[in-house]
Amino acid sequence: MKADIVIKSIDNLITLKGPNRARKGNEMKEIGLIKNGILATKEDKIIYVGEGELPPEIEITEETIVIDGKGKTITPGLVDSHTHLVHGGSRENELAMKLKGAKYLDILEAGGGIHSTMKATRKASFDELYEKAKKSLDVMLSFGVTTVEAKSGYGIEDFDTEIKQMEVAKKLNDEHHVDVVSTFMGAHAIPIEYKDEPRKFIDIIINEMIPEVAERQLAKFCDVFCEKGVFSIEESKEILEAGIKHGLLPKIHADEIEPLGGAELAAQIGCVSADHLVAASEKGIEMMAEKGILANLLPGTSFNLQSGKYAPARKMIERGVAVALSTDYNPGSCPTENMQLIMSFASLLLKMTPEEVITAVTINGAASLKLEDKIGSLEVGKKADIVVFDAPNLEYIIYHFGINHTDRVIKNGKQAFV
Ligand code: NIG
Ligand code: FE
């Protein structure tokens, strides 16, 4: 077989070889490291991963792109499995308020926060949203990200805007190198006009929005902001169960600020992931471990909210939970597309080891999007989504923080960023 791309003499080839499922607890240490590694791709797939030289059946021809892996660290394409990619505007105007001590939920309650991004998103045309999100995707790709999840949730009661966001995500998925997986998150805030009668809005989500999103195949997942003053446990449960009924897989913004019992709910209804979990209870963590629910942690958000509180990653891993990591990229609580910074935050602030971190942003991120059989590890038959880091080892990428270590990114077997 003729290879399209061969990367040889790789100092550190991190394969994440193993079962096609989220790696939990102690399994997160096993990263399948190969020294003096070699890897070959054909079309959009990996055809060989090993040590030393290629076997005779894999041919290097004149057309083969041969990359020298000396001094490089190579990993599966990074997966950013929780973002609010498509939105209008930015909220740097909140910085001064936040520095004076204003809290995220207070700004939201006063009609700012998500509500202000909602206005900007509503005002923006399809093309404006597309161009802005495309620019962010380009940045994400440059940091080694090859698959991104994108939530709606800035149209809220304006369903046309929700649809516009999901259609932008769909077009980006069709046209951009990076794969974009769509999540419906109409339940992102209680609209101001429904403040006194949230039930009416919940009924609209359940009876009108979810069926149409599912019918038009605009999203794979359904997500809810389960938080004090936003959607309660009971309301979140109802919305997520309505999604399940229509084939939308459940995800949840759980226990981000207040310990409401979101982790328990995630375990109870079998969410694909519970995200944030800064204030998750001991019982919630145990229930997640027992039910095998993935914890998707977003340390960039904790950092930016300046609460000084971080998700108890160590406790989760010790209890046997599988942990993924994401940016939560959005214009309010985490305005950054930089996955490598999140990896450093996870290590420095959540005390995760470099092995746990790379597992969290590859195979566990893939599992958080139910794509673990296609991406997330470098194994024969999987998609050729590969990052070449200009770094002598994994620790260096995480330790030397705040800069971009990417040398090149291969996506679907093509050099997407060089
Ligand atoms: O995950 N917490 C709710 N949603 C987002 C923030 C969205 C925003 O502030 O615009 C989050 O942090
Ligand atoms: Fe979020």
Q: Which residue has the CA at smallest separation from atom 5 of ligand 1?
A: 333
Paired tokens of 215:
């019918």
Task: Give the pLDDT confidence of 92-118 residue by residue, as tens digits.
Answer: 999 999 999 999 999 998 889 999 999
Both structure tokens of 60: 């290097």
Q: How far apart are CA 114 and CA 104, in angstroms?
A: 10
Contacts of 69 (CB under 8 A, 6+ apart): 7, 8, 9, 10, 11, 13, 37, 38, 388
Structure confidence at residue 111 (pLDDT): 87
| Contact yes or no for 269/278 (Cβ under 8 A) | no
For domain 79-368, give the CATH number: 3.20.20.140
User: For residue 326, how far is its CA from the centre of ligand 2 (angstroms)?
Assistant: 9
Task: Name the residue with the closest Cα to ligand 1, atom 9.
Answer: 332
Ligand 2 midpoint to CA 254 (Å): 10
- Ligand 1 centre and the CA of 178: distance in Å? 22
Considering the chain, what percentage of its residues have pLDDT values greater than 90?
Answer: 99
Task: Tell me the DSSP string of 215-263.
Answer: HTT--SEEEEEE-TTSB-HHHHHHHHHHHHHTTPEEEEEESSSS--SHH
- Report yes or no: 386 and 353 within 8 Å, Cβ to Cβ: no
Percent of the chain clearing pLDDT 70 (strictly above): 100
**Residue 252: which of 183, 327, 164, 322 has the closest Cα?**
183
pTM: 0.98
* pLDDT at position 20 over 90: yes
Mutation to probe ligand 1, out of 253, 278, 309, 326 (largest number of atoms < 8 A from CB) = 253
All structural domains of the chain with their residue ranges:
5-76+377-417, 79-368
CA dihedral 175, 378, 148, 372 (to 10 degrees): 110
Query: Phi and psi dihedrals of 66, rounded to 5?
Result: -110, 125
Q: For 167-214, what is each residue's pLDDT tens digit?
A: 999 999 999 999 999 999 999 999 999 999 999 999 999 999 999 999
The pLDDT of residue 75 is above 90: yes
Residues with CB under 6 A from ligand 1: 84, 113-114, 117, 225, 253, 256, 301, 328, 330-333
CATH 2.30.40.10 fits 5-76+377-417, yes or no: yes
- Of 188, 226, 297, 342, which is best to mutate to test ligand 1, by the most ligand atoms within 8 angstroms of its C-beta? 188
